[in-house]
């Protein structure tokens, strides 16, 4: 028998919930009414002779005194010798229970299942992963059929042309990817043939063992600690935030240790997947490094050892994306990601050329090779469209994204469309969000759904240029953007931390938990409700669709897809996009 005691004038809701959970678990219970004195409670306890007494206290006023009085009376009556006494409620902290000699104390936020587990002598559910999770295939069920035949025809033809064009060319990155793959298959380091295709800084790191500036090798002790840290499994303490919607967070603190620690915190707070960020200089440097490397600034260095260490630190059900979209190591990054067990990667020739600083010709050759590698590893990839942040209209970005999707399908890969939910320059200049942040973002998803049967993963992250440095504002707007993705039936969403608008230092673990908490609270608030768009959403959908059609038609008139990028068809200098220069002149005919 378990005696439930609300030691409070009125509050007994928590105990009623615990009573129900205990009875469902097969326990007999008696719930006393509120507002009984300690003496009256002890008298009832002597009569009932329970195995446990659960006392709740909500009011902070005189909580310690009243609980102490109850403990003294229980001692005097000999109840403590045969009964376990537990306190809980808003006014209780575990330290108070210990101080007053109770057997346990449960503070705010305790779930009924935790109390039941304690009474039954089991570990708390939060430590054993209440919810059984499995990795979700974001591409399952999609046919990649163009529902809009006219757009599909244009995209397919441009993809065919690009495939033929790229098939006649190669680059240092394409060749390095082959060498890296062979080395990984044979479990060895790369050799001089690889280094001949690298920049001097990479060659020096291999030959002298001296890592680039602001990086250092982890000591053997640190490597051991990292492995130990990675093996600690915590499960998913929080339930999924939104039914069916897979929630991704980004990491890339620079240090594999910090990354693993942040990942474990984020996953415990409700993240389903994580996205690896590498340093920006990595995208501008020919060649990838090896070894256990930590970096003092943003972005975690991609090496086989670092990726493996991070992989070992992931819970088995956590989706892991390694980005390969924007630099001079695109195909090799996909190879490394595939060998390291990544679930997803990220490739987009147009974005990497217009927003990532890489020469369009170079990234076109590398991007096609990267897609082929992604297909070989059966690794889906998102087609990111963050060139919108440079000022490229959404429709132009989507036009190239649809060509990438058609291309991916042709090489047997599984692409995921990634519209950016953001207050972009196009939106600001056009006043498209003067009333709300919903209609224009919703129009993006609606237009893509109309054109292609493919998964949609808004990112990355959602809410760009809407977040401020205030963590409440930042978390709330992030939570609402994530819910918008859910309302629109998206398959996944990538969210920022509440440090999104802060540039003075690394993102903190607390900032990651801020937005995860906000997403969960917002999703809980809305549940399965729907939203109603204003008439503006339809106007935006037509605008974006017209931009897509215009860009694809214009691209067909260009000598090649690549030339169309140089010519500004998918984002012009007037828009704010500039073709990148990294890797220019490095493509050669086969």
Contact residues toward another protein (CB under 8 A) are 214-216, 222, 225, 228-229, 232, 253-255, 257-258, 260-262, 264-265, 294-297, 468-471, 499, 502, 504-506, 508-510
The nearer residue to another protein, 90 or 229, going by C-beta atoms, is 229
Closest by Cα among 369, 7, 23, 13 to 173: 369
The nearer residue to another protein, 218 or 369, going by C-beta atoms, is 218
Question: Smallest distance, Å, CB 227 to another protein?
Answer: 9
Question: Smallest distance, Å, CB 511 to another protein?
Answer: 9
The nearer residue to another protein, 450 or 470, going by C-beta atoms, is 470
Question: Smallest distance, Å, CB 214 to another protein?
Answer: 7
The nearer residue to another protein, 254 or 395, going by C-beta atoms, is 254
Question: Smallest distance, Å, CB 289 to another protein?
Answer: 15
The nearer residue to another protein, 16 or 238, going by C-beta atoms, is 238
Question: Rounded distance, CA 222 to CA 129, Å?
Answer: 28
The nearer residue to another protein, 258 or 519, going by C-beta atoms, is 258
**What DSSP designation does 148 have?**
S
Using DSSP bridges, classify how beta strands 415-418 and 420-422 pair: parallel, antiparallel or unpaired: unpaired
Closest by Cα among 141, 140, 154, 142 to 402: 154
Residue 256 — φ and ψ, nearest 5°? -55, -35
The nearer residue to another protein, 254 or 419, going by C-beta atoms, is 254
Largest CA distance in the chain: 94
Question: Smallest distance, Å, CB 525 to another protein?
Answer: 24
Taking residue 366's Cβ as centre, other Cβ atoms within 10 Å add up to 35
Question: Smallest distance, Å, CB 298 to another protein?
Answer: 8
Distance of CA 545 to CAs 505, 532, 539, Å? 40, 21, 10
Question: Smallest distance, Å, CB 232 to another protein?
Answer: 7
Question: Smallest distance, Å, CB 428 to another protein?
Answer: 22
The nearer residue to another protein, 258 or 310, going by C-beta atoms, is 258
The tokens for 496 are 């920022």
The nearer residue to another protein, 200 or 296, going by C-beta atoms, is 296
What one-character-per-residue DSSP string does 24-72 give? HTT--EEEPPSS--HHHHHHHHHHH--SEEEEE----TTHHHHHHHHHH
The nearer residue to another protein, 214 or 573, going by C-beta atoms, is 214
Q: Is the torsion defined by CA of 202, 205, 206, 207 positive or negative?
A: positive
Question: Smallest distance, Å, CB 314 to another protein?
Answer: 14
Torsion of CA 428, 433, 434, 437, to 10 degrees: -140
Question: Smallest distance, Å, CB 427 to another protein?
Answer: 24
**What DSSP designation does 322 have?**
E
Distance of CA 255 to CAs 258, 278, 356, 503, Å? 5, 10, 23, 18
Question: Rounded distance, CA 76 to CA 72, Å?
Answer: 6
Question: Smallest distance, Å, CB 254 to another protein?
Answer: 4
Question: Smallest distance, Å, CB 29 to another protein?
Answer: 33
Taking residue 201's Cβ as centre, other Cβ atoms within 10 Å add up to 16
Radius of gyration, alpha carbons of the chain? 28
Question: Smallest distance, Å, CB 74 to another protein?
Answer: 29
SS3 string, 281-297, reads HHHCCCCCCCCCEEECC
Question: Rounded distance, CA 405 to CA 393, Å?
Answer: 19
Distance of CA 402 to CAs 35, 407, 429, 443, 517, Å? 67, 8, 25, 16, 34
The nearer residue to another protein, 508 or 572, going by C-beta atoms, is 508
Question: Smallest distance, Å, CB 465 to another protein?
Answer: 16
The nearer residue to another protein, 122 or 224, going by C-beta atoms, is 224
Taking residue 553's Cβ as centre, other Cβ atoms within 10 Å add up to 13
Taking residue 535's Cβ as centre, other Cβ atoms within 10 Å add up to 7
Q: Is the torsion defined by CA of 406, 409, 411, 416 positive or negative?
A: positive
Question: Rounded distance, CA 83 to CA 103, Å?
Answer: 10
The nearer residue to another protein, 492 or 509, going by C-beta atoms, is 509
Taking residue 48's Cβ as centre, other Cβ atoms within 10 Å add up to 14
Distance of CA 537 to CAs 189, 216, 399, 462, 546, Å? 53, 50, 19, 18, 14
The nearer residue to another protein, 365 or 509, going by C-beta atoms, is 509
Question: Rounded distance, CA 248 to CA 242, Å?
Answer: 12
């Amino acid at each position: 028998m378990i005696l439930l005691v609300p030691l409070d004038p009125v509050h007994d809701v928590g105990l009623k919930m615990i009573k129900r959970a205990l009875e469902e678990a097969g326990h007999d219970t008696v719930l006393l009414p509120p507002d009984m004195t300690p003496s009256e409670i002890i008298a009832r306890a002597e009569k009932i002779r329970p195995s446990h007494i659960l006392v709740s206290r909500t009011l902070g006023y005189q909580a310690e005194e009243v609980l102490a009085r109850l403990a003294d009376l229980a001692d005097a009556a000999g109840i403590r010798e045969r009964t376990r006494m537990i306190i809980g409620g808003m006014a209780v902290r575990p330290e108070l229970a210990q101080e007053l000699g109770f057997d346990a104390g449960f503070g705010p936020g305790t779930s009924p299942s935790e109390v039941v587990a304690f009474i039954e002598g089991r570990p708390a559910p939060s430590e054993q992963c209440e919810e059984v999770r499995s990795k979700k295939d974001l591409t399952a069920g999609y046919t990649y059929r163009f529902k809009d035949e006219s757009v599909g025809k244009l995209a397919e033809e441009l993809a065919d042309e690009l495939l033929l064009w790229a098939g006649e060319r190669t680059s240092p990155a394409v060749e390095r990817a082959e060498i890296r793959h062979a080395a990984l298959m044979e479990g060895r380091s790369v050799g001089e043939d690889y280094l001949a295709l690298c920049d001097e800084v990479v060659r020096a790191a291999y030959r002298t063992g001296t890592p680039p500036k602001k990086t250092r090798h982890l000591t053997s002790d640190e490597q051991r600690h990292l492995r130990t840290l990675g093996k600690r499994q915590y499960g998913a303490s929080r339930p999924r935030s939104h039914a069916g919607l897979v929630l991704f967070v980004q990491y890339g603190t620079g240090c594999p240790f910090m990354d693993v620690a942040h990942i474990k915190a984020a996953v415990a707070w409700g993240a389903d997947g994580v996205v690896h960020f590498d340093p920006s200089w990595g995208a501008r440097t020919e060649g990838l490094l090896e070894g256990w490397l930590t970096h003092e600034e943003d972005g975690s260095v991609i090496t086989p050892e670092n990726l493996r260490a991070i992989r070992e630190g992931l819970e088995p059900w956590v989706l892991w994306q390694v980005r390969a979209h924007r630099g001079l190591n695109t195909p090799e990054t996909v190879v490394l990601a595939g060998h390291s067990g990544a679930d997803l990667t990220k490739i987009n020739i147009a974005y990497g050329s217009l927003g990532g600083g890489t020469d369009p010709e170079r990234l076109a050759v590398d991007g096609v090779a990267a897609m082929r590698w992604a297909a070989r590893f059966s690794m889906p990839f998102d087609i990111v469209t963050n060139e919108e942040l440079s000022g490229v209209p959404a429709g132009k970005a989507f036009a190239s994204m649809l060509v990438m999707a058609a291309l991916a399908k042709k090489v047997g890969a599984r692409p995921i469309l990634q519209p950016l939910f953001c207050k972009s320059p196009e939106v600001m200049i056009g006043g498209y969000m003067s009333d709300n942040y919903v209609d224009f973002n919703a129009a993006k998803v609606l237009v893509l759904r109309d054109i292609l049967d493919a998964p949609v993963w808004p990112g990355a992250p959602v809410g760009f240029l809407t977040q401020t440095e205030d963590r409440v504002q930042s978390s709330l707007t992030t939570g609402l953007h994530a819910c918008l993705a859910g309302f629109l039936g998206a398959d996944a969403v990538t969210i920022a931390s509440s440090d999104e608008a802060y540039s003075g230092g690394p993102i903190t673990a607390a900032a990651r938990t801020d937005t995860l908490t906000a997403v969960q609270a917002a999703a809980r608030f809305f549940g399965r409700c729907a939203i109603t768009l204003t008439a503006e959403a339809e106007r935006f959908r037509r605008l974006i669709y017209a931009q897509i059609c215009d860009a694809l038609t214009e691209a067909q008139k260009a000598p090649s897809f690549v030339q169309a990028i140089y010519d500004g068809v998918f984002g012009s200098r007037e828009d704010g996009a500039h073709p990148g220069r990294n890797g220019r002149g490095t493509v050669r005919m086969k």
